[in-house]
Amino acid sequence: MNVFWFIPTHGDSRYLGTSEGARQLDHAYLQQVARAADSLGYEGVLIPTGRSCEDPWVVAASLIPVTQRLKFLVAVRPGLHQPSLAARMAATFDRLSGGRLLINLVTGGDQTELEGDGVFLDHAQRYEQSAEFIRIWREILARSHTGEAFDFEGKHLTVRGAKLLFPPLQRPHPPVYFGGSSAPAHELAAEQVETYLTWGEPPTEVAKKVADVRERAARHGRTVRFGIRLHVIVRETEDQAWRAAEDLISRLDDATVVRAQAAFSRMDSEGQRRMASLHAGGRKRTRAELEISPNLWAGVGLVRGGAGTALVGDPKTVAARLEEYADLGLDTFVLSGYPHLEEAYRFAELVFPLLPRRLRDKLPGQGSGGPFGQTVANEFVPRASQS
């Protein structure tokens, strides 16, 4: 498994839907989260995009010098800049980071936000534009290794003699990740991206998505990797984990949920519609109603757009649920938890040792010199368990 974490550039807190327990969103805190993910052995970090977030490219670039191995899954949004510029940005970042760039292709689903950014295309048109955008982007970067120029004339985008003089380190280009639940999204993923990401739906629904994208990719003579975006709430016992989940939404009031769901309902995103259906547009509130599949909880989606589900449970249970998704063909897990700094440590310490993932020198308990905890009686280091 490749396990990623999340950089919370839209804010972080102990309680959803309120400023109580909120974190100061500054560069020092973002560095703390990135350094934690890097030192704990996470494969990379997803940096979100949208008007509610700090700019992902600026944030990612600022974190290069404070990390060593961490990869950055950074968004490109067709319509906000041209593919040639996006290709230059990607190549520069990839070189300066030592080949640590991954691309997250985002078409967008909030029409109000899109129009504020100057994008006035409907759902179908955005996917047409995105397909043209990423094709141009890929070709420019791939041809940069041989110095070739590229011409393309499409319905939405045209380039003539597009050329990149300084190629990326990764060949032919940094890998492209993409998520979407509609038929056009599945077709785009099948034809052009390396990894298809789904939000955290029940395994039966995820299996249907995987099968559809895999079948479409085969028709194009391609194979695609698969991943999932989930929150995690893991504690030493099942009861503690569910109490933590309830605590996360304990400060929510009805008015906040109603306002959030009204905003989400305006979006034309099929993925967002599917997320909202899991909690009936905010009408489901109890644990019994929000546990939509064993240990899969839809409470986060009451006020958070995008990924709105969390795996909740003790370490063995959460690891088992992740392996259920892995058995469907998923190998990338993009995770997060509130607050992101503490939960990065908690998940790594409790769940990493249970996952069949590549071992790294700095995984908790795996290094030759530690960690070993506090020295006992100034005399000896403690053993792994006192139980």
Residue 364 pLDDT? 46
Strands (E), the chain: 2-6, 44-47, 71-76, 101-105, 150-153, 158-162, 176-179, 195-199, 225-234, 291-293, 296-297, 310-313, 330-336
User: ω into residue 294 within 30 of 0, thus cis?
Assistant: no
pLDDT (tens digit, 9 = 90+) per residue, 307-330?
Answer: 899 999 999 999 999 999 999 999
3-state percent breakdown (helix, strand, coil) of the chain, nearest 5: 40, 20, 40
Tokens of 115: 């129009």
| Three-class secondary structure of residue 152 per DSSP | strand
- Residue 304: φ, ψ to 5°: -110, 130
Domain range 2-76+175-354, its CATH number among 3.40.630.30, 3.40.250.10, 3.20.20.30, 2.10.240.10: 3.20.20.30
DSSP letter (8 states) at residue 372: -
Query: Residue 110 is encoded by which pair of tokens?
Result: 């909030």
Q: How far apart are CA 380 and CA 46, in angstroms?
A: 40
Q: Which residues of the chain have pLDDT under 70?
A: 357-375, 377-378, 380-381, 384-387
The reported pLDDT for the residue numbered 285 is 78
- Omega of the bond leading into 371 within 30 degrees of 0 (cis): yes
pLDDT of the residue at 363 = 52
Dihedral angle, C-alpha 275, 276, 277, 282, nearest 10 °: 140
What does the pLDDT look like over 58-79, one tens digit per residue?
999 999 999 999 999 999 999 8
Q: Which helix (H) or strand (E) holds 153?
A: strand 150-153
The terminus-to-terminus CA distance of the chain in angstroms comes to: 29
Phi-psi region of 296 (alpha: psi -120 to 50; beta: other; left: phi over 0): beta
Taking alpha carbons only, the member of 13, 19, 79 closest to residue 49 is: 79
Domain residue ranges of the chain, discontinuous segments joined by +: 2-76+175-354
pLDDT at site 384: 64
Q: How far apart are CA 45 and CA 102, in angstroms?
A: 10
What local confidence, expressed as pLDDT, does residue 377 receive? 62
Strand partners, 74: 47, 103
- Provide the whole-model pTM: 0.92
